[in-house]
Each structure stands twice: as structure tokens, then as C-alpha cells.
Structure 1
């Protein structure tokens, strides 16, 4: 037993790595060509696996497409958990939310979004897949909407409302949250254009400081407008 356990752990890790490689390749392929245009053979080759391995892990192309959406949600949630967790706890405490603390949590959430959408180049890879579902909703739309877009925007809207001294968000807060988050999309599917406009060769620490500063100014303006 002691001799086979490490081998078992190694096999599990290899299986998880294979699954991740297939998902990475599929997110790119589906983003570029859509569900109908992308072939499982091309995805398998890009992932460095054979067709049976892809079928073993996901069963079908449709199932793989849906799993890509779930993977994007999971990776996004992992990137923002350190900020979204405290924000949810604050808003769900059942007590009156201090506006200053709500503003702190809003800043933390936006910082986490900068880390996830701007600092992390993987977001540019997800962008094609996500954009397709936004423009032509398919089987993955409900997953992205119910688990990512709607709850994320609502959390930001509730923080904006609390920072303004309101108990609940209204249309103004939801629209402000939507516009605030949408600004960061310029660095996902519009990453190349945004870098060219800013004359940035890359997005490193200096550029991230500038993005955070811009977002901070927008947060201050939004909160001030509601007071």
C-alpha cells in the first residue's frame, strides 16, 4: 500500500494536468472559432493529448464547451475570493453597514478585479470565449450569467449603495457598477488596442499602478455622486 500510494497521487496529478491542458486549449479554440467551428481533433492536438483522452475527460464537444465556462467562473472566483469574501460577509452581517468600510471593501474588490482582468494575461485568453457568449448566447451563457456576471455586478452595486449610505442598490448603483467593471474589459478582449493607445509595450507594475489609480478616481467619483 505504501508503495502504490505515491503512484496513485502522481496519476491523479497527471489526470488533473491533462484536464487543465484540454480546457486551456478548448477555451482558446472556442473563443476563436465558436462551438461549431472548433474541432475536438484540433483541441486535442493543441493540448498535447490524443482524441480518446479528450473523450475520456469530457465525453463530447458540447460537454467540453460547458466545462470551459465553468472553468472560467472557477478561475475568476479564485482570483477575486480574497476581496469578494470579506465584502459578502460585510453586506450579509445583518447590521448597518458603515459607509467608510463599504468603500474600503469596494476598493479591495476593484483591486482584485484589476489583478484578475488586467495583471493576469489569462483573462485575455478567456475574453474570446466570453465575448462569443455575450454576443451570441449559447449553452454556456446561463453559467456565465448566473455564476459570474450577475452576482459580480450585484456585489459591486451593493457596495456602492452601502458606501453612499443606502440600504439597498437601485438602478443607479447597478448601472454605475456595470460601467465601472466594464472599464476593465478594455484590458481583456481589447488588451492589444489599450496597450497601443497607452503606448505600453507591456503591462507591468508601473502600468498596473496607473490602472489602479484610474479605477480609484472613478470609485471616488461614483461614491461622491450619490452623496
Structure 2
């Protein structure tokens, strides 16, 4: 993780700007090369600094990687945090209707889908996230992502799916349904290049994202409403 020493001790200028430059450079290098092939020297060079400067802020390569993951978690919560908070209120409410539960889930998935839209840093972060999900990272990064993001969002998704199916939250069928629904959203990011190629698009702007979102949410809504019908029919 990052270290915070007085400037006089390490001889390097402190500041969030320098730290942010190192994280930005690390995301780029890790995304392009993967964790094992990346070096702290190259990361520091891309940031316009020297290797000792990186070690002053992060100690080592694992430290800077975990800082990247922490930043990624912050970005994810910016994207879906409000929707998750509202969904938690619906999940914890005893009088919520099936329609409210479905809308709460759709809001979460809608927020996650926003990650496919093009932006100034979107390509670097997509490459970094793809390698992270492929396991090209230290084990500590998986633990950090799990505790910092997956546990909370997984709890609310499984809880709402359990309400809609009638199965317990920890039932294997609940977990599989939740995973299948979430995978539909993730597929649009993981298979983004295939999506662009199939549609003849050169990128995803706000207008195109809206069209993708409308189709995806229609699919997810149909699946959720189908689960409710199956529950009511005792299937």
C-alpha cells in the first residue's frame, strides 16, 4: 500500500498529484503487459519519475498494484454506489414489491454497463480490469476486490434474486441465477471488441450506450419476471 513519510525523510515531493501520476502510469503498464511482466522501473519512467520515487509512495510492485485496485474500486462505487444503496433499502424492506425488486436490480446492472462507454481513460482501465479478472495479478488483489466491492454488491444481488425466486440467499440456484444475470452485463465489457465489430461501430458514445442499455435491460427484465412467474407457479 502507499506509504506516507515526511518529505525530508525520503527526499521526494509529497502530494496526491504525484501519487495519481504513478497510479495512472501503473494502470497503463499493468494493462499492457500484465502484472508479472511489468516492472516498477518502467512504471516510474512512464510517470516521469525514477524507481526510488515509486518505492517512496508504494514500497514495491504489489503495493502500487493494490493502489490501482483501490482506485478501481472507487470508480466502480462511483458508477453503481447510489443504485446499490437504493437496492439495499429495497432488499431490507419487508413490504417491497416484486416490481420494486426488479427495478432495483436493473438500476445496478444499468450502472455497471456504463463502464463500456468511451472516455479519456477507459481503454487503460478496461485492459487493467480484464487482466485482473483473468487472474494476472497477485492474490492480495483478489482479496481486496472481494472485500472492497464483490461482497457488498453480491449480497444485495443474491438477496433480491432470492426474494424473486423464493430460494434462500445461499441456495446454489440463487447464486447461479445471480451470476448468470451479472454475467450478461460483464459480457458487454469483456466482449466489447466483438460488439463493436458486429455492429460496425468505432466506439461507444452516450447515444450508443443508451441503445445497448435498452436491449440489455429488456433481457434482464424478462429473465427476472420469468423467475417470478416460476416461483408463483411452484416450478
- For Structure 1 versus Structure 2, the TM-score category normalised by the shorter chain is 0.7 to 0.9
Q: Which structure 2 residues correspond to residues 59-208 of structure 1 after superposition, within 5 A?
A: 59-93=59-93, 95-115=94-114, 117-119=115-117, 121=119, 122=121, 124-136=123-135, 138=138, 139-162=140-163, 164=164, 166=166, 168-169=168-169, 170-208=171-209
SS at match of 2:177: helix
CA offsets 1:65-84 (integer angstroms, 9 cap, x no match): 22222221121112211211
The answer to whether the 8 Å contact 1:124/1:188 transfers is: no
Q: 1:27 to 1:106 in 2, by over 3 A?
A: same
| Equivalent in the alignment of 1:20 | 20
- The CA distance in 1 between the partners of 2:65 and 2:168, in whole Å, is 36
- The CA distance in 2 between the partners of 1:199 and 1:36, in whole Å, is 35
The answer to whether the 8 Å contact 2:162/2:168 transfers is: yes
- The CA distance in 1 between the partners of 2:123 and 2:188, in whole Å, is 7
The answer to whether the 8 Å contact 2:31/2:125 transfers is: yes
Q: CA deviation at 1:123?
A: 5.0
SS at match of 2:34: helix
Q: 1:158 to 1:198 in 2, by over 3 A?
A: farther
More helix by share: 1
- The CA distance in 1 between the partners of 2:113 and 2:206, in whole Å, is 12
The answer to whether the 8 Å contact 1:124/1:191 transfers is: no
- The CA distance in 1 between the partners of 2:206 and 2:160, in whole Å, is 27
- The CA distance in 2 between the partners of 1:156 and 1:118, in whole Å, is 21
Q: CA deviation at 1:150?
A: 4.3
The unaligned stretches of length 5 or more in structure 1 are: 1-13
| Equivalent in the alignment of 1:5 | none
The answer to whether the 8 Å contact 2:87/2:104 transfers is: yes
Normalised by the size of structure 2, how large is the TM-score? Answer: 0.78
- The CA distance in 1 between the partners of 2:127 and 2:32, in whole Å, is 6
Q: CA RMSD in A?
A: 2.4
CA offsets 1:134-154 (integer angstroms, 9 cap, x no match): 333623111123333343233
The answer to whether the 8 Å contact 1:128/1:189 transfers is: no
CA offsets 1:35-60 (integer angstroms, 9 cap, x no match): 33111121112223333332221121
The answer to whether the 8 Å contact 1:99/1:165 transfers is: no
Normalised by the size of structure 1, how large is the TM-score? Answer: 0.80
